[in-house]
């Protein structure tokens, strides 16, 4: 009897020392809670970054604008308004008119299609080439690594924009030519970055264990290496979108991009530079569109980088 009372007293004392948060019910609740996935963690971290969210909303609105550009444009972007050359912004023409009497606002709206399509397709080419060469170089090593990296160094030694202009000038200027040229001349940075990531991940224990048990190289790349470098690929692609838009604007400004009557922001800057002092709206609004778009993509890219690797924010 005395022993039973002693045991009961000890159980009561032990129960008093157990915090409420570690009660059996609380413990079962914690065990039953499903852990967050990588996507949920990234989204939670991204939502905390107000600048990245603002940039993402702007990019989303921009893509919707480009998608429904013909319906949103108040006037035909090729239509001429007789007797209204270089008309300043008004209720009839929100962004004014250009020297050919065309509505600038409609041309800025339709021009978003050019910039976003060039950015998306050219970055797709950049990442396909860069990821493929970087992955092969980093995983295989040896002579393949030396050949790919030496060729990459040669390409990087050539001034990028001059290489772009030369390649664009060799072919008939068009929107398709701009996309292909940007993609084929801008993959080097992505290749070096992916190579470094593959070298880092390849040396980790789970990859060494997979190779030790005879897993094929193709399976190691697809199932182990690529998923662990996907964060870097997504961030790099997002940041490259802004740079590709700048490159397209530069080529269009030089007359090597989309050809008339297709409007592009860079081409509108080139057309308006002659009347910049007297008709500022011809260059201010297209330039502002380029600035805001590039800024938005950079904010999203920086936000994704911090969301995938929160340690970046503490550096």
pLDDT, average across residues 136-154? 91
Please tell me what DSSP assigns to residue 224: I
pLDDT, average across residues 65-83? 83
Q: What pLDDT score does 26 carry?
A: 52
Q: What pLDDT score does 2 carry?
A: 47
Q: What pLDDT score does 194 carry?
A: 92
Residue 34: pLDDT band (50, 70, 90) is low
> With 80 as the cut, is the pLDDT of residue 17 above it?
no
Residue with tokens 């193709």: 218
d(CA 93, CA 300): 32
pLDDT, average across residues 236-258? 88
Residue 278: pLDDT band (50, 70, 90) is confident
Structural domain includes residue 27: no
Residue with tokens 């604007």: 249
pLDDT, average across residues 28-53? 73
Residue 32: pLDDT band (50, 70, 90) is very low
pLDDT, average across residues 259-275? 86
Q: What pLDDT score does 76 carry?
A: 81
Q: Percent of the chain at pLDDT above 70?
A: 86
CA 168, 172, 177, 180 torsion-angle sign: negative
Find all residues with CB under 8 Å of 223, minimum gap 6, and list them: none
**Span of 79-83, 201-205, 238-242, 249-253 with lowest mean pLDDT:** 79-83
Q: Which of 211, 44, 67, 183 is nearest to 118 (CA)?
A: 183
Q: What pLDDT score does 13 carry?
A: 53
Residue 257: pLDDT band (50, 70, 90) is confident
Alpha-carbon separation of residue 272 from 55, 80, 99, 163, 262 (angstroms) = 28, 16, 8, 26, 16
Count of CB atoms situated within 10 Å of the CB of 65: 17
Q: Percent of the chain at pLDDT above 90?
A: 27
Domain housing 256: 38-314
Q: What is the DSSP string of 122-142?
A: HHHHHHHHHHHHHHHHHHH-H
Q: What pLDDT score does 12 carry?
A: 54
Q: Which of 110, 91, 99, 76 is nearest to 281 (CA)?
A: 99
The structure tokens listed for 6 are 């002693």
Q: What pLDDT score does 18 carry?
A: 46
> With 80 as the cut, is the pLDDT of residue 312 above it?
no
Structural domain includes residue 17: no
Based on the structure, what is the number of domains in the chain? 1
> With 60 as the cut, is the pLDDT of residue 15 above it?
no
Cis omega (within 30 of 0) for bond into 305: no
> With 80 as the cut, is the pLDDT of residue 37 above it?
no
> With 90 as the cut, is the pLDDT of residue 293 above it?
yes
Structural domain includes residue 29: no
Structural domain includes residue 59: yes
Q: What pLDDT score does 108 carry?
A: 92
Residue 31: pLDDT band (50, 70, 90) is very low
| Average pLDDT score over the chain | 83
Structural domain includes residue 177: yes
Q: What pLDDT score does 100 carry?
A: 84
pLDDT tens-digit profile of 150-192?
A: 999 998 888 877 888 887 778 878 888 888 888 888 899 999 9
pLDDT, average across residues 127-132? 93
Structural domain includes residue 43: yes
The structure tokens listed for 12 are 């009561």
Structural domain includes residue 106: yes
The structure tokens listed for 133 are 């060469």
Structural domain includes residue 167: yes
| pTM, to two decimals | 0.79
**Span of 28-42, 44-58, 226-240 with lowest mean pLDDT:** 28-42
Domain CATH for 270: 1.10.3720.10
């Amino acid at each position: 009897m005395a022993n039973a009372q002693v045991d009961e007293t000890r159980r009561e004392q032990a129960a008093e020392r157990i915090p409420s948060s570690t009660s059996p019910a609380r413990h079962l609740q914690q065990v039953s809670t499903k852990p967050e996935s990588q996507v949920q963690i990234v989204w939670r971290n991204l939502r905390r970054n107000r600048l990245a969210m603002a940039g993402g909303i702007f990019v989303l609105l921009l893509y919707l604008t480009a998608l429904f550009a013909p319906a949103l444009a108040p006037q035909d972007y090729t239509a001429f308004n007789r007797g209204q050359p270089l008309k300043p912004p008004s209720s009839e023409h929100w962004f004014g008119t250009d020297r050919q009497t065309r509505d600038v606002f409609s041309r800025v709206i339709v021009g978003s299609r050019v910039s976003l399509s060039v950015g998306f397709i050219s970055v797709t080419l950049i990442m396909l080439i860069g990821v493929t060469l970087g992955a092969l170089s980093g995983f295989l090593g040896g002579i393949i690594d030396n050949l790919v990296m030496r060729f990459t160094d040669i390409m990087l030694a050539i001034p990028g924009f001059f290489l772009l202009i030369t390649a664009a000038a060799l072919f008939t200027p068009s929107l398709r030519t701009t996309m292909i040229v940007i993609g084929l001349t801008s993959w080097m940075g992505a290749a070096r970055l992916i190579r470094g990531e593959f070298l880092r991940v390849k040396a980790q224990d789970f990859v060494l264990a997979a190779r030790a048990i005879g897993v094929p190289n193709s399976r190691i790349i697809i199932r182990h290496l690529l998923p662990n470098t996907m964060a870097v690929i997504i961030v790099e692609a997002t940041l490259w979108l802004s740079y590709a838009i700048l490159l397209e604007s530069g080529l269009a400004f030089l007359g090597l991009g989309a050809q008339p009557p297709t409007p592009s922001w860079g081409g509108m800057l080139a057309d308006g530079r002659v009347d910049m002092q007297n008709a500022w709206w011809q260059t201010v609004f297209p330039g502002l569109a380029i600035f805001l778009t590039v800024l938005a993509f950079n904010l999203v890219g920086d936000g994704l980088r911090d969301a995938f690797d929160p340690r970046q924010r503490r550096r």
